[in-house]
């Protein structure tokens, strides 16, 4: 049996770092094991211009641990007022790596997102011309659409029409949660990729609702039926380069999670690699973990694979903190619900 695995240092292609005291507290949890991460721009106010991205990058660089080589890959928050000139200028100097599309109201701090997709087509056409990827939160926000169907409806009514109209546009469908999403990405050719989170490989909707509501398992997109979780595991562990790791690690204080209208998000930065090794071992696919975590993402984004490596070791159960203390209050670390025996060798 394998009890030691060395892989290229992984990247996180979907990460929330927040700002201020929260940023200072949670960034080390990612920088410990990951070389790079696509940084989400849904701050308050959001990161909508090149100047905003430069300022936010500076705050991240200032907050990262001493001697850390962690590299934030910045994104812009797409709005119906996004200026093509500003976007192209930021991309030209490699200040930004992608642009993020939030349908207005789809998730945390998405109120400034897109309501009428016709108003952003010129921006998307310019992105296609320069090869700048679009990262999408793939859910419709129509209140008449069941929350468990919103990903599938988004593919049919928004994403596929956009890709048919602008076939050269490179798209990352983030945090896929359904078999529909898996099938669409797998059959979509080389201009589409899909990220899969750690927590969606572990939980289905029963984990949130059965036996009492579990606020720390509540996320958006919400976890779906077991058949969808199994489709995600097959996609992540199957070796298809269309799929790569995007944790969507999203810190909220317990005070924000444990209220009548609690925030959506699972904080997985601390123990993601231990959980992934467990999942891939269960699926008999440890040899494919490097592809999912370290190779497929750079290939899609046309970036080099990291040169250095990390080693995972299997042994006695690993103890992780249940919470990360921040200046804003404690943040609970995602609990997979089973012992973790894989750890990163320090």
pLDDT tens column, 234-243: 999 999 999 9
- The token pair at 25 is 């507290």
Average pLDDT for consecutive 10-residue bins of the chain (346 residues)? 92 98 98 98 96 98 96 97 97 98 77 86 98 96 94 96 97 98 98 98 98 97 98 98 98 97 97 98 98 98 98 97 98 98 95
The dihedrals phi and psi of 144, each to the nearest 5 degrees, come to -80, -10
Which positions are catalytic? 248
State residue 209's pLDDT score.
Answer: 96
pLDDT, tens digit, 9 for 90 and up, residues 23-79: 999 999 999 999 999 999 999 999 999 999 999 999 999 999 999 999 999 999 999
Q: What are the boundaries of each domain within the chain?
A: 4-344
- The mean predicted confidence, pLDDT, of the chain is 96
Handedness of CA 344, 342, 36, 336 (dihedral sign): negative
pTM for the model stands at 0.97
Phi and psi (nearest 5°) for 313? -125, 135
The answer to whether 108 and 73 are in contact (CB under 8 A) is: no
Assess contact for 279 and 237: CB atoms under 8 A: yes
Domain 4-344 in CATH 3.20.20.140? The answer is yes
Cβ atoms of 114 and 139 within 8 Å: the answer is: no
- 174-199 tens-digit pLDDT: 999 999 999 999 999 999 999 999 99
| Residue 49 phi, psi (nearest 5) | -125, 165
């Amino acid at each position: 049996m394998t009890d030691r695995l060395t892989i290229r240092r992984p990247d996180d292609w979907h990460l929330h770092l927040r700002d201020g005291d929260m940023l200072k507290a949670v960034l080390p949890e990612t920088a410990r094991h990951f070389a790079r991460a696509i940084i989400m721009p849904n701050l308050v106010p959001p990161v909508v211009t090149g100047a905003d991205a430069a300022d936010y990058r500076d705050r991240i660089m200032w907050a990262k641990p001493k001697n850390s080589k962690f590299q934030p890959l910045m994104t812009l928050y797409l709005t119906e007022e996004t200026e093509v000139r500003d976007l192209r200028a930021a991309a030209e100097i490699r200040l930004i790596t992608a642009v993020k599309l939030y349908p207005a109201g789809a998730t945390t701090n998405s109120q400034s997102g897109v309501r009428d997709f016709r108003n952003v087509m010129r921006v998307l056409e310019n992105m296609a011309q320069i090869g700048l990827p679009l990262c999408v939160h793939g859910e419709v926000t129509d209140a008449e659409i069941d929350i468990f169907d919103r990903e599938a409806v988004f593919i049919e009514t928004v994403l596929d029409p956009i890709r048919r109209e602008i076939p050269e546009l490179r798209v990352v469908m983030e945090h896929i949660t359904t078999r529909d999403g898996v099938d669409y990405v797998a059959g979509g050719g080389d201009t589409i990729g899909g990220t899969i989170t750690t927590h969606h490989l572990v939980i289905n909707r029963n984990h949130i609702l059965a036996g009492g509501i579990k606020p720390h398992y509540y996320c958006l997109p919400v976890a779906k039926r077991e058949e969808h979780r199994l489709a995600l595991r097959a996609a992540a562990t199957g070796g298809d380069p269309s799929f790569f790791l995007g944790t969507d690690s999203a810190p909220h204080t317990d005070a924000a999670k444990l209220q009548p209208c609690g925030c959506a998000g699972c904080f997985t930065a601390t123990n993601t690699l231990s959980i992934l090794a467990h999942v891939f071992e269960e699926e008999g696919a440890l040899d494919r973990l490097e592809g999912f975590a370290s190779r497929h993402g750079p290939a899609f984004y046309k970036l080099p694979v990291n040169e250095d490596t990390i080693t995972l070791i299997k042994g006695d159960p690993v103890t992780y903190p249940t919470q990360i203390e921040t200046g804003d209050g404690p943040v609970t670390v995602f609990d997979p619900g089973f012992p973790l025996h894989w750890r990163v060798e320090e």
